[in-house]
Copies of this chain bind each other. A is one copy, B any other.
Amino acid sequence: MEAAHIHLVRIGEFAWSRMEPHEGDWQWDWLDHAIALAAKHHMKVLLGTPSAAPPAWLTQKYPETLRVSNAGVRDEHGNRQQFSFISARYRALTHDLAERMAVRYGHNPNVVGWQIDNELAEPSFDPEAHKAFHAWLQHKYGTIENLNQKWWTSYWSQTYSDFGQIPVHDAEENPALLLNWKQFVTDTWVSYVRNQTTPIRQYALPSQFITTNTMGWFDGFDGYTLHQSLDLVGWDDYETDWTDNAARHDLARGYKNKNFWVTETDPGFVNWRPNNLAHDKGEVRALAWQAVGHGADAVEYWQWRAALNGQEQYHGVIAGADGNPAPIYAEIQTLGAEFEKAAPALQGTSPHAQVALLHDMPSRWAISFQKQVEDFNPVKALTAFYGPLRHRAGTVDVVSPRQNLASYKLIVAPGLNVLPQETAEHLLAWVRQGGHLLLGPRSGMKDAENALDPHLQPGPLAPFLGAHVSQFYGLVQPVALSLAQTQGKGTLWAETLEPTDPATQTEGTYGPSNGWLDGQPVAVSHQVGKGKITYLSTIPDAATLDAYITTQVRDAGALSPLADLPADIEACLRTGKDHTVLVLINHARTPVTFTLPQTTAGKDLLDPKQAASGQITLPGYGVRVLTLPNPA
């Protein structure tokens, strides 16, 4: 590890049975030793609480700590995450565990931070969860009559006379119930995490940060709410498509609007997919630099070496079963040396964006509950817009619609399905100051209770758009359209837009299809104060969407100087007080040549002898890291 320039190890996260082999029999010597050994070899420690894997004796003695599935089946020992996230008993046990760890390691200078649990995921539907959900609803709605009204329960005779009658399920229920369940699950995970952060904050050095490792687009809870309780965003990066991966990094950065850590990524391949294919030679290094380019300040590989038995035997490793370097070792060693070289220049830098993509969990949930066409995936809708936005505008922030928006020139909201009045007002205030807001299809359909907004889409923004959606159409076959000087197709969804104000502008036209859409506008826009709102009623094919986004970005004055780089070349900018670092990555298997604009010419950080301006050729999976003066 030391020879590979590794300066950080994460330990402890599944080690409860080693820490406490029998109830009350605490064993810390091995962990003391491991931390000391890491220190000796110049590695800092990220210390995980092992609550994701309770020991066999624990769940045997306290079976109420085991989670229950939506189908009512109690989980068993043998894998991970078998605990109930709401069990009072489990919370008492994990509070005690976290406190003991904090007391012992909270002042260890080699421990830089804490990871709570591991990949929080599955809620429990046990009796405690039933009671808690009902109590949570009662607290939120006050009276059952109020809930009945907000949920429109007279439909299908769902009306409740008692909170205890409300079903506890995560699918095939009233849309209002489903949305509330997700919010309850979020709140329960927040209190689950706080149950551990509280004793750690009490006993640990303030310099030790607290994080947890989340999972990209995972939609089991609202990450914006959860990360409020934590100091640092960590995420586990097992994505293989580079554009989607870029979006996930920006998602991670957006939770707290600051740099983040990649808490896990694979050294080549994983073992839990149906097909576990390896990254090409060089691709692992390229992806690590991509992480850094998007704001990662650490990249951790899972796993160093396989346990000789257990469910992850086939997972990629840096050291083989024999303990010797696996083929990937050399690539990671090179990367380690590069990180050491670049670290001083990267210090204090981070990406800064002029454009944002809105990511809203209630909207994603609402669409996923009721997709209407089976291929409509709200994440794919987001990444369809992300790709051209990233290409043409450079750095993109992926953020919640409820955060401070002042720094953006253009905000794109594909599928902002749930749009409560206060969110609409927050967006409007920003538009009035000059912001350009581009809404995608399915936006503004629902209120905070997942009820249809009687204003019609885009709901509270309809009066400001000077138009509303008169009808939506789910699509399997794409429909012809012309938009942004391009003859293309609308996919998955299309809507007819009905202007209500003569000042409303229309853009593009649908070609002949089902009769309803023929000749209708594809988008409409309307001035609001110093800014404007645009509504795009479909997801255009990639080429058309790129053309359209390019016009939107240019119109908003947010075009990047690197907007014309070839499609396989990614350019990442991290800016600090005095300088900017530019990471250039060739994500293709084969070499690509391009010309760097004069404004982004710099100095090569990894190999100062290389030219860092003008025409550049990057080999397959090649990376260049330049320092530039900050833009004027």
Contact = CB atoms under 8 A, between A and B. Distances in A.
Contacts of A282: 515
Interface in A370-414: 370, 372-374
Given A152-B310, A269-B474, A271-B372, A174 B78 contact: yes
A280 B514 contact: yes
Contacts of A314: 370, 372
A203 interface: no
A77 B158 contact: yes
A14 B156 contact: yes
Interface in A98-130: none
Given A156-B14, A476-B275, A516 B78 contact: no
A301 to B, nearest CB: 15
A76 B174 CA distance: 13
Nearest to A144: B56
Interface in A269-292: 269, 271, 274-282
Interface stretch (A88-96, A134-142, A322-330): A322-330
B309 A152 contact: yes
A163 to B, nearest CB: 11
A471 B320 CA distance: 8
A307 to B, nearest CB: 4
A22 interface: yes
Given A326-B471, A327-B516, A470-B320, A156 B277 contact: no
A444 B454 CA distance: 58
Contacts of A308: 152, 451-452, 454
A76 B277 CA distance: 43
Please classify how large the interface on chain A is, using the bins under 10, 10 to 19, 20 to 34, 35 or more.
Answer: 35 or more
A310 B372 contact: no
A453 interface: yes
B309 A449 contact: yes
A154 interface: yes
A17 interface: yes
A452 B56 contact: no
Contacts of A276: 372-373, 474
A321 B453 contact: yes
A18 B162 CA distance: 15
A310 B14 contact: no
A169 B311 CA distance: 14
Interface in A296-340: 306-314, 320-323, 326-328
Interface in A144-192: 150-162, 164-165, 167, 169, 172-177
B79 A452 contact: no
Given A18-B159, A275-B476, A280-B514, 7 more contacts: A77-B158, A79-B173, A155-B307, A155-B309, A156-B310, A277-B476, A327-B516
Interface of A: 14-18, 21-22, 50, 53-57, 60, 76-80, 150-162, 164-165, 167, 169, 172-177, 268-269, 271, 274-282, 306-314, 320-323, 326-328, 370, 372-374, 449-456, 470-471, 473-476, 496, 514-516, 518
20 contacts: A15-B157, A56-B160, A57-B161, A76-B167, A77-B158, A78-B169, A78-B174, A150-B309, A151-B310, A153-B310, A155-B309, A158-B310, A276-B474, A277-B475, A281-B515, A281-B518, A309-B451, A320-B470, A322-B454, A327-B516
